[in-house]
Amino acid sequence: MANAYQLKRADFVFRNENDYEKILSKTLKRDKQDIINELISSELKGRGGAGFPTGLKWKLTSESKSEEKYVICNADEGEPGTFKDREILSKVPYKVLTAMAVCGHVIGAKKGFIYLRGEYKFLQKELNKAIEEFKYFCNEIKLDFDIEIFMGSGAYICGEETALMESMEGKRGEPRNKPPFPTTDGYMGKPTVINNVETLAHTFTIFKYGAKKFYDLGVQYSRGTKLFSVSGDTPKPGIYELELGMSLQDFVYEFGDGDTKAVQVGGASGFLVPRKKFKDAAIGFKGKLTGISLPTGGSMMLFNSSRSMFNVLDNYLEFFREESCGQCTPCRVGCQQLLLGIKAVKRGDKPASYLEKLMRLTETMQYTAKCGLGQSVANSFSSIVGNFREEMIY
């Protein structure tokens, strides 16, 4: 059992299939409800990290009554350690565009946006070309669906869906209160489906090969494949498509450098797993039968024994101190307290027991922050301090 190698590679997302015209035409002919049902039965969950069932999202939005609706592709890939969406948009943009058009058809939207992070501006030109070509085809098949790129300008928080919409509306990217949810009150207050780039790419796979093919991959509650952005102390950094449900142990066998001390799963807002817990940690959504399960947007950062976990945490907290939108108290002030707190403990200005006070604060941040990101900013703190307490002190 211990060494059972269970990493299952897959090749769907980047498989270059020049048949989007066919898939789009075919899918558009299907009954809308049928498309939704297929997505639901695939059990595809959002690949941005939050894991909301995609089919349900489309269903709810399709049921919202409104003349105007929108489809947004969330390409504000800002989570440290994540770079898969960039690759999808540069290699197989038409899959995303096709998925957006199908979504528009299903929910009754005529307009789609790709919110592209400012850091990826160099992609804009090629992507626009792909959009032009795609629109040309839409015209040919008389599909009334327009797609345009909306450029971000350097704000991590805009990856949060409602912050992203605020940003598109020309405002500060501050997350909204939920409810209401985008399915009823999204961009410009209209029902909106907002999906991560990778999520949309997977729907293409589902439209092409059917839900069953997708469902048969992965494990219970975590179906299908997922792109993993692998970085840090690894001999083979890069993007890998793997079936969900693998254990972290297997992952480290494959990608570690033989000296892996810990893996940060899910980026700076994710969790750090120390070596001793690798075999108990499964990568997938909640409900895995044994051990801890870690939902993820696909960021896998490996650290070997030469790395100081204090420095790692310090780097994350610096990131959040700056990238918190700043509107809600727990996230804005909490991030500053965590950052200054570990420094104070390191310097000896605060006793080691202050870490426990900060640990309790991370709970409050998780319970009370306004948005999903604010609720998860302290994950890295609790998992790093929880597992490497001594590194924080000495």
Partner 1 sequence: MPNKVNLSINGFSIEVSKDTTILDAAKELGITIPTLCYHKDLCVAGNCRVCVVEVAGQKRLSAACATPCEEGMEILTNSLKVRNSRKHIIELLLSEHNADCTKCYRNGNCELQELASEYKIMTQDFLELVPHKNYTIDAYSPSIIKDDSKCIRCQRCVRTCAELQGVNALTCSHKGDEMKITTFYEKHMREVVCTNCGQCINHCPTGALVEKNYIEQVWEAIADPKKHVVVQTAPAVRVGLGEELGLEPGTRLTGKMVAALKRLGFDSVLDTDFTADLTIIEEGTELLTRLKKALVDKDETVSLPMATSCSPGWIKYIEHMYPEYLDNLSTCKSPQQMFGALAKTYYAKARNLEPENIVSVSIMPCTAKKFEAYRPEMHDSGYRDVNYVLTTRELAILIKQAGLDFDRLDEMKYDRLMGESTGAGVIFGATGGVMEAALRTAYEIVTGREVPFKNLNITPVRGMEGVKEASIKIENPVEDWAFLDGVELKCAIAHGLVNAKVVMDKIKQGEADYHFIEFMACPGGCLGGGGQPIPTNPEIRQKRMEAIYAEDGDMPIRKSHDNPEVQKLYKDFLKEPLGEVSHHLLHTKYTKRERF
Partner 2 sequence: MNPTQSLIKDLAEKYGRKRENLLPILQGVVKQEKYLSEYSMVEIAREIDIPAAEVYGTATFYSFLEAKKMGKYVIRVCRTITCAMKGKTQVIFAIQDMLKIKIGETTPDGRFSLLETNCLGWCHKAPAMLINDEVYTDLTPEKVREILSAYMKKNHL
Q: Would you tell me which residues interact with partner 1 (CB under 8 A)?
A: 155, 157, 172-173, 177, 179, 320-330, 332-337, 340-341, 344, 350, 354, 357, 360-361, 363-364, 366-370, 375
Rounded to a whole number of angstroms, the CA Rg of the chain reads: 21
Q: Could you tell me the smallest distance in angstroms from the CB atom of residue 104 to partner 2?
A: 19
- Rule CB under 8 A: is residue 301 a binding residue for partner 2? yes
Task: Give the other-Cβ count within 10 Å of 368's Cβ.
Answer: 14
Q: Closest separation between CB of residue 325 and partner 1, Å? A: 5
The only residue of 17, 68, 119, 146 in contact with partner 2, by rule CB under 8 A: 119
* List 311, 352, 357, 363, residue binding partner 2 (CB under 8 A): 311
Amino acid in position 114: I
Name residue, tokens 């610096």: 318
**Per CB under 8 A, 229 contacts partner 2:** yes
CB of 23 to partner 1, least distance (A): 38
Please choose, out of 57-65, 197-205, 311-319, 362-370, the segment that lies near partner 2 by the rule CB under 8 A: 311-319
- Overall size of the chain counted in residues: 394
Among 15, 129, 172, 212, binds partner 2 (CB under 8 A): 172
- Contacts of residue 66, Cβ cutoff 8 Å, sequence gap at least 6: 108, 190, 191
> By CB under 8 A, is residue 228 in contact with partner 2?
no
**Binding string, residues 186-215; x marks residues near partner 2 by CB under 8 A:** --x---------------------------
Which of 96, 168, 328, 373 lies at the binding interface for partner 2 (CB under 8 A)? 168
Q: Which does 329 bind (CB under 5 to 8 A by kind): partner 1, partner 2, none?
A: partner 1
Q: Which of 86, 148, 69, 79 is nearest to 115 (CA)?
A: 148
SS (H, E, C) 290-330: CCEEECCCCEEEEEECCCCHHHHHHHHHHHHHHHCCCCCHH
Looking only at residues 58 through 77 of this chain, which bind partner 2 when binding is defined by CB under 8 A?
Answer: 77
How near is the Cβ of 392 to partner 2 at its closest, in Å?
17
The nearest distance, CB 353 to partner 2, in angstroms, is: 28
Asked if 82 interacts with partner 2 (CB under 8 A), we say yes
Q: Does 180 bind partner 2 (CB under 8 A)?
A: no
Cα 264 to Cα 122, 161, 260, 367, 369, distances in angstroms: 28, 23, 11, 22, 22
Please choose which of partner 2, partner 1, none residue 179 contacts, taking the beta carbon within 5 to 8 angstroms, the exact cut-off set by kind.
partner 1
In what side-by-side order are the strands of the sheet with 192-196? 146-151, 111-116, 70-75, 192-196
- DSSP labels, 126-157: HHHHHHHHHHHHHHHTT---EEEEEE--S-GG
Buried b (16+ CB within 10 A) or exposed e, 37-69: ebbbbbbbbbbbbbbbbbbebbbbbbebebeeb
Confirm or reject binding of residue 335 to partner 2 (CB under 8 A).
Answer: no
In DSSP terms, 114 is beta-bridged to 73, 149
Residue 383, binding choice from partner 2, partner 1, none, Cβ under 5 to 8 Å by partner class: none
Q: Where are the beta strands (DSSP E) in 132-275?
A: 146-151, 192-196, 218-219, 222-223, 225-232, 238-243, 260-265, 271-274
* Chosen from partner 2, partner 1, none, partner binding at 183 (C-beta under 5 to 8 Å by type): none
**Using CB distances below 5 to 8 A depending on partner kind, what does residue 301 bind out of partner 2, partner 1, none?**
partner 2
Residue 359 partner contact from partner 1, partner 2, none using kind-dependent CB cut-offs of 5 to 8 Å: none
Q: Where are the beta strands (DSSP E) in the chain?
A: 70-75, 111-116, 146-151, 192-196, 218-219, 222-223, 225-232, 238-243, 260-265, 271-274, 281-283, 292-294, 299-304
Q: How far is the CB of 153 from partner 2 (least distance, A)?
A: 4
Closer residue to partner 1, CB minimum distance, 179 or 235 = 179
Contact footprint for partner 2 (CB under 8 A): 77-83, 86, 117-122, 150-156, 167-173, 188, 229-233, 237-239, 264, 268, 299, 301, 307, 311-312, 315-316, 318-319, 322-323, 325
